Structure 1
Amino acid sequence: MRIVLTLLATVFSLVVCSVNAQTKLYFNLQGYTLTGEPGNNAELREFNALLVQDGKVAAVGDAQELQELYSVAAADKVNLNGKTVLPGIIDAHGHMLGLGENLMQVDLRNARSETEAVKQVVDFAATEMGPWVIGRGWNQENWSAKRFPTVASLDEFVSDRPVWLTRVDGHAGWANSKALELAGITADTVSPEGGEIIRDANGEPTGVLIDNAMALVESKIPAKDADYHRRALKAAFDHLVSEGITGVHDAGIDALNLEVYQELAQAQQMPVRVYAMLSATEPKLPQLLEQGAITTADDRLTVRSVKIYTDGALGSRGAALIEPYHDDPNNRGLLVTQPGAIEALFELVIPHGFQINIHAIGDRANRIALDKFAKTFATIGGRNLRHRVEHAQVVHPDDIPRFKALDIIASMQPTHATSDKNMAEDRLGKARMAGAYAWQTFLEQGTIIAAGSDFPVELSNPFFGVHAAVTRQDRDDQPKGGWYAHEAMTLEQALRAFTLDAAYASGQEQVLGSLEPGKWADFIVLDQDPFAVSDDKLWQADVLATYVAGEAVYQRNQE
């Protein structure tokens, strides 16, 4: 860890000045922030006082020096009693509507068997009387049998209403017979391109649908109106600020979601800053691109990127691989969007000056994404738009240097590694692990990593992500010594990926991502100093308060 011990005392003016009622001096704190340019040249600096003026950082440094430079009234001084201050966390890949929905639906994340998952569904159905029973979070890899669930187990207890349960990664769904019937899925139904209807030995649907096949059921679920969106987003906002998250890159929104965001921004009801990616599957995408980028004056809502899907996920064997799956020799995964369609999207999006954020998990998907970037840059340009690969989870070692050569940002989620460690090697075999979850390899070549969680696929708590990045272990300290520990980040790198480098990935590093003069005063107060605790305790940090533009949007109840 490199910490520059020289304290900052940078101010906007070289003369002593008075301040207005919108000024606060936070003192008696242990502060850390990355400063300077994003990437490997950024420096980690300490401070013990923070001056906020009109929602922005006026100065950081030594409390006595700042008091001498600024006449701060006693009522405007806040004693933080030695607590730790960090820049607000930016989650560079999450799904706001999905998180809000998850908070309002049955959550199967902790189910340890198919039977347990069904019981949770039954209990939820008894209290939720809507026309559908909706849930998310099941993961067969956490069950002793490690096999997909079946329609029969749901039908035994819930047969009067359709049930639809999305897998934890969002790339598979589990339905009961009522849902399959409404979707018209029978033994004769052909799997759609980029999707699969899982069948039993007799050719009958088992109830599990992969990737594009999920739409057969999801298209029958009653449409979600604007009020539903507002309620879900409000639930997500409240949850995230309690965890110290002040900014989110929302990975794929539709036109209605955008409309609701704009309403909330106009009404000043967005406690979390949102950098929203338009979904490439939105039918109105061409019109939305024609309308141009959106940036509100207070930087609460920014829209100037498009999310494209290439493949599925590793856990459901939908990630597109160059060679077959190690544990399924007849399967190379799925391409959710075909290469020709991806190229057409690139040619549509880039001329409008929008950034492309392309989902790619398998090594084949990553190679396709890089090939399309290279071809597009050579023909129509757009290299300067800071394009990203979302996940970059399994990359062929020959392709990793191409990220640097093409100036592609790697948007990666540390907790994916600790969640996948029990199955990734089964899926890939040892040889392909050389390019999997390869954070340090990317960092050493100078590639910017923007860190996120992919909530609600993973839990949104950013300190779970910091812990996973530094230790390559789960929160039970497994495996000992870390999983492929040579790819771990340092604590400084992990914090940078969740703050300054995440801001760079949205083109916002001039206003967000660090506590430097002139930037928005987005910061959090923690109960522990991450640089003073052992690495295995990093995930245990509790957020005491969250500030956005100098205003408290969350304060923990001290009772």
Structure 2
Amino acid sequence: MNERITHYRNGKIFTAAEDGWAESIVVEDQQLRFVGETVFAEILAPDAVVVDLHGAVVLPGFVDAHTHLVMMGFALQKLDLLDATDLADIQSSIQRFAESNPDSPRLLGRSWLFSALNGQHPTREMIDAVVPDRPVYLDANDVHSVWVNTAALRELGIDADTPDPIGGRIGRDPETGEATGMLYETAVMLYVWPKLAELATDQDRDTALALAFRRYLEDGVTGAVDMALGPDELHSLERALEAGKGTLPLRVAAHWLMTREDNEADNVRQVHDAIELHKRIQGPWLRIAGIKIIVDGVIDSCTAAMKEPYSDGTNAEPIWDVESLIPVVTAADAAGLQIAMHAIGDEASEIGLTALEYAIATNGDIPRRHRMEHLESITKDNVNRLARLGIVASMQPVHADPAIQENWRAMLGDYRVNRAYPWPEFTEAGAVLALGSDAPTAPHPPLPNMFVATTRRSAIDPSLAPNLPQYALPLADALAHATRDAAYSCRWENLTGQLVRGKAADFVVLKQDPFTEGADSLLTTEIAMTVVAGSVRYLDTAQNQQ
């Protein structure tokens, strides 16, 4: 028996390639040596170690096309407020969490919904009522705003004289100017994130990263695109790479996060920092792919840049206007960096596409693969424009979950809600659609994400009516967008994303068959095995003992 070769036989293997399906895969030296019929696999590898799949469905390993690894690991340790239905529920959850963590110097929570406040504006006093003596930081579900109490404002040094940063806002009492306890967009990035990073240790970050890796492997993810990399996160990844003797638990491509400065030189300087990292870090396990630019905010807090006002008559300025964006995009494009732009509002995608068009015209015909993230509200003209420019549409089905749409719809309040998250429009126009989670702004497991993608129903509360079901995707298409196309989105198409000869042996074995049992089974299907580069990185021990 040849221990270097493994034959996985008797499976229902979805390849995400033109041939569609196979019965067997043969793994040798971290790669797929053969994918096809069992009779030929046995001829090719008669001495291989044999693993009988007993008819189980095998998929290419999921590639989360948009995530935040260290942030996700930290979020998994925070108080989860997603199920809180009103202010009293939020307050009682915070109070119980405080009582169960009496020695924590500060309390961290996540995933509360604006709709839970029934039209009230979040204030520091609401949190002070249950925890007045310790700083409390509560990430909104979209992670673009943070709700804090008075003690946290004091810890951050924020008062009536603290200026709003470019592209962000400190919520203030209109009469006194005092901070109300809400921080939006770059106010989070420039005040909250640095303070919490300063208070965390390298061990804290490494523990968070390890937790994110473990949860991803348990849920069938073999690669991830980190969309907000900074120095602390990079150092944590490099420590993990060193500890793994040149490997990681799963593959990581990352985008260096840009911060909007008030002058072109400082903005472009960040591009040059990313260029040096891109040159230095280009491995099969960790690579710096390019830069991430957050062009606007989010619809839930009315910080996304829209072409028409929100239902309350207000609108938001972009974080990056086209004049500030063009020099950065042009420099990054010329250097061969991938540019990923967060663009949720229809005006933000307009700005981003204009900057990309300028860069392409300026730099000429060079290899490039840029991407736009989220695209929750976009005009049909810009869908076609995006496809014509060859831009990858990177979208997250979990953001369309009906359970979190009430406030989103109310903030727009008009015809725009009828073209929300229009995934099929992109592929019909000829664009590549890559699916991910944007964890921790949404749950990371890919199978419930595929449930939302294929039904437009809620993975949180499946009894809710579907959200524009005409935009649902066929299961095979959704899986391909979350594997093959997600790999393409970060230039891994020659490495992973499909189960074909010569590519990496990155795959996942399911306990159920969603192709025959229907979409609802995606909510209950568990992972039996996750294999990365031919190595079993997760194995369900209960399944293995049966």
With structure 2 as the length reference, what TM-score do the two structures score?
Answer: 0.91
Does the C-alpha gap of structure 1 residues 24 and 212 become closer, same or farther in structure 2, counting only changes over 3 Å? same
Q: Which moved more, 1:424-433 or 1:357-366?
A: 424-433
- 1:14 is aligned to none
Summarize the alignment of residues 329-348 of structure 1 with structure 2, pairs less than 5 Å apart. Answer: 329=313, 331-348=314-331
Deviation at 1:119, TM superposition (A): 2.7
1:194/1:337 contact within 8 Å kept: yes
Please tell me whether the aligned partners of residues 271 and 332 of structure 2 are also in contact (alpha carbons under 8 angstroms).
Answer: no
Alpha-carbon distance in structure 1 between the residues aligned to 2:467 and 2:57: 29
- Could you tell me which residue of structure 1 aligns to residue 384 of structure 2? 401
Q: Is the 8 A contact 1:293 1:354 kept in 2?
A: no
The one of 251, 268, 273 equivalent to 1:287 is 273
Give the secondary-structure state (helix, strand or coil) at the position aligned to 1:21: strand
- What amino acid sits opposite 1:421 in the alignment? Q
CA 1:87 to 1:220, structure 2 compared with 1: closer, same or farther past 3 Å?
Answer: closer
SS at match of 2:213: helix
State how 1:138-537 maps to structure 2 within 5 Å.
138-141=112-115, 143=116, 145-200=118-173, 202-203=175-176, 204-214=178-188, 215-221=190-196, 222-268=198-244, 270-281=248-259, 286-294=272-280, 297=283, 299-326=284-311, 328-329=312-313, 331-381=314-364, 384-419=367-402, 420-433=404-417, 435-475=419-459, 476-480=461-465, 482-537=466-521
Are the aligned partners of 2:5 and 2:45 in contact in 1 as well (CA < 8 Å)? no
What 5-or-longer segments of structure 2 have no aligned partner?
A: 260-266
Distance 1:429 1:113 in 2: 22
Please state if 1:134 is matched with 2:108.
yes
CA distance 1:91–1:218, shift in 2 (3 Å): closer
The number of residue pairs the alignment matches comes to 527
Tell which deviates more after alignment, 487-496 or 265-274: 265-274
User: Take 1:266 and 1:444, find their aligned partners in 2: how far apart are those partners?
Assistant: 43
Give the structure 1 partner of residue 529 of structure 2.
Answer: 545
Q: Which residue of 2 aligns with 1:554?
A: 538
Q: Residue by residue, what CA displacement relative to the aligned partner does 1:218-250 show, whole Å, maximum 9, x if unpaired?
A: 444334343222111001001111110111111
Q: Could you tell me whether the CA contact under 8 Å between 1:290 and 1:352 is conserved in 2?
A: no
Deviations 1:458-503 (A, max 9, x none): 10110111111111111343544x3222221111210111010111
In structure 1, what is the equivalent of residue 263 of structure 2?
none
The more displaced of 230-239 and 256-265 is 256-265
Indicate the residue corresponding to 2:3 in structure 1.
Answer: 21
Of the structure 1 ranges 521-530 and 423-432, higher mean CA displacement relative to structure 2 is found in 423-432
Q: Using a 3 Å threshold, how does the CA distance of structure 1 residues 441 and 354 change in structure 2: closer, same or farther?
A: same
Q: Does the 8 Å contact 1:294/1:301 carry over to 2? A: no
Task: Establish whether residue 31 from structure 1 lines up as the match of residue 5 from structure 2.
Answer: no
Matched residue, 1:116:
89
Contact 1:60 1:516 in 2 (8 A): yes
Distance 2:301 2:488 in 1: 32
* Partner-residue secondary structure (3-state), 2:293: strand
Aligned residue for 1:7? none
Q: Quick check: which one's helix share is greater?
A: 2
Corresponding letter in the other structure for 1:228: D
Provide the C-alpha distance between the structure 2 equivalents of 1:365 and 1:391, rounded to a whole number of angstroms.
11
Write the letter of the residue equivalent to 1:473. Answer: R
| CA distance in 2 between partners of 1:77 and 1:379 (Å) | 55
Query: 1:305 Cα deviation (Å)?
Result: 1.3
State how far apart, in whole Å, the 2-side matches of 1:224 and 1:132 are: 12
SS of 2:11 mapped into structure 1? strand
Which residue of the partner structure matches residue 45 of structure 2? 70
Contact 1:356 1:387 in 2 (8 A): yes
SS at match of 2:373: strand
Measured against aligned partners, the alpha-carbon deviations of 1:496-528 in whole angstroms (never above 9, x if no partner) come to 110101111111111100110111101111011
Q: Which whole-Å CA distance do the structure 2 matches of 1:515 and 1:217 have between them?
A: 42
- Distance 1:383-1:465 versus aligned 2 partners, 3 A rule: farther
Could you tell me how far apart the structure 1 residues matched to 2:277 and 2:224 are?
23
Residue of structure 2 equivalent to 1:6: none
Return the alpha-carbon distance in structure 2 between the equivalents of residues 412 and 224 of structure 1: 31
Distance in 1, Cα, partners of 2:365 & 2:444: 32
Q: Give 1:380 deviation, angstroms.
A: 2.1
**TM-score, normalization: structure 1?**
0.89
One-letter amino acid of the counterpart of residue 403, structure 1: L
AA paired with 1:62? E
Deviation at 1:44, TM superposition (A): 5.6
Structure 1: tracts of 5 or more residues without a match? 1-18, 36-42
What is the CA–CA distance in structure 1 between the aligned matches of 2:223 and 2:35, rounded to whole Å?
21
Note the C-alpha offset of 1:435.
4.2
